Amino acid sequence: MPDLQTANPVNVDPAKVNIEHQRLASLINSMSDSVIAVDENCLVVLYNAATLNILDINTAIETQPLHKVLKIYNKDNEPVDIESLVTSTKIPTSTRNYLLHYTDNSSANLYLSIAPVHLGYGQVGQQGYVLVMRDITREKSLEEERDEFISVVSHELRTPITIAEGNISNAQFVANKTGDIEKLKPALEEAHRQILFLADMINDLATLSRAERAKLTFEISAINAHDIVQNLVNSYRSEAKSKGLELKAEIDPRLELLQSSELYVREILQNFVTNSLKYTQTGAVTVGARQQPGGVEFWVSDTGIGISKTDQQNIFNKFFRSEDYRTKETKGTGLGLYITRKLATLIKAAIHIQSELNKGSVFTIFVPNLR
């Protein structure tokens, strides 16, 4: 690290100053943030090891003009005149909006703080600036993801809340004006439907947050795949019947005990089955399991509306619902398959879809033994 240019006032012991200087130098060098000090002409007088890391260079930069060393860009990707930015700084200032570009075309989001300082001792010290920089690319992408999630969730929640609110105030109006119970019913039914939808959505969000938090913690147990499929079919038989659909199980008699998370396997298959029942108007839904080397393959097939090739690429995305009018006619949050894929990733299971529009879909998942 280069020497700090310091004025050495009278009565200061040079040996002490030297020790202080070394302490300061090793402290700055051990920082994980990049520190660059420049003089009033914006020439580099001091920098630490983290600076070379963040700038991705391995050559000394002391005495170099700052604009040669540090090239930053604004949010719109326009180059920023760093020296004007620095010299116009009158009080310590920090921003999180600049970018650094690297030779391999990658970029980093930058936290940059600039503080005017006296680079020497006492009143007579030379004026300069200290820049502190940090790579905040990861923090930024997490922040962006969180902001997008909050904006999508609030949008998705607003619609049913608005409809429910409208219907309830309508019902209040009718009750006050006429007291006619029959006229109240449709508004209350619609409000009730919207509240049930909200409850579904909140359940999905809770499962999602559980799946995101449970990255490392789920219980592996010996699962009887035969029972899982049979229980699932039994639970949804009356719902299928009420829609005039047949619900069948096809279970390989050679199934072995599966070592995985019973909760997640159930939850994943349940999502496939409820979707198949929802998106099938006539015919049958079949749930099956067959033994494979190293695990069990489950599948849920239906004779429903099918999924177009383009939609197949999107159905695992957060809040995705097909534009197909038959999908639009059903209620859904677009979170089920997103959660399903998260859970599948946790248990190292691979999902495969085969689907043809107007013919039906098959969702297959291979669940490996985890021990």
Q: Which residues bind ligand ADP (CB under 6 A)?
A: 271, 275-276, 279, 302, 304-305, 307, 315, 320-322, 327, 332-338, 361
Q: Write out the E strands in the chain.
A: 34-39, 44-47, 72-73, 93-101, 107-118, 127-135, 221-223, 246-251, 258-260, 284-292, 295-302, 350-356, 360-368
d(CA 216, CA 261): 12
Q: Are 334 and 201 in contact (CB under 8 A)?
A: no
Residue 33 beta carbon to ligand ADP: minimum distance, rounded to whole angstroms? 42
Residue 314 beta carbon to ligand ADP: minimum distance, rounded to whole angstroms? 8
| C-beta of 207 vs 275, nearer to ligand ADP | 275
Q: Cα torsion at 251, 256, 261, 264 (round to 10°)?
A: -10
Phi and psi angles of residue 326, each rounded to the nearest 5 degrees, phi first: -75, -30
| C-beta of 98 vs 272, nearer to ligand ADP | 272
Which single residue brings its beta carbon nearest to ligand ADP?
A: 332
| C-beta of 128 vs 360, nearer to ligand ADP | 360
d(CA 276, CA 273): 5
d(CA 267, CA 260): 13
| C-beta of 121 vs 319, nearer to ligand ADP | 319
| C-beta of 83 vs 200, nearer to ligand ADP | 200
d(CA 260, CA 118): 63
d(CA 108, CA 92): 22
Q: Is 226 exposed, middle or buried (0-12, 13-18, 19+ CB in 10 A)?
A: middle
Q: Which helix (H) or strand (E) holds 318?
A: none
- 246-251 and 284-292 strand pairing: parallel
Q: Cα torsion at 54, 57, 60, 61 (round to 10°)?
A: -60
| C-beta of 128 vs 306, nearer to ligand ADP | 306
| C-beta of 128 vs 288, nearer to ligand ADP | 288
Residue 296 beta carbon to ligand ADP: minimum distance, rounded to whole angstroms? 21
Residue 275 beta carbon to ligand ADP: minimum distance, rounded to whole angstroms? 3
Residue 223 beta carbon to ligand ADP: minimum distance, rounded to whole angstroms? 23
| C-beta of 140 vs 193, nearer to ligand ADP | 193
Residue 331 beta carbon to ligand ADP: minimum distance, rounded to whole angstroms? 8
d(CA 369, CA 371): 6
Q: Are 340 and 351 in contact (CB under 8 A)?
A: yes
Say whether 67 sits in a helix, a strand or coil. Answer: helix
Residue 191 beta carbon to ligand ADP: minimum distance, rounded to whole angstroms? 20
Residue 27 beta carbon to ligand ADP: minimum distance, rounded to whole angstroms? 53
d(CA 59, CA 160): 60
Residue 320 beta carbon to ligand ADP: minimum distance, rounded to whole angstroms? 5
**Amino acid in position 65:** P
Phi and psi angles of residue 11, each rounded to the nearest 5 degrees, phi first: 70, 15
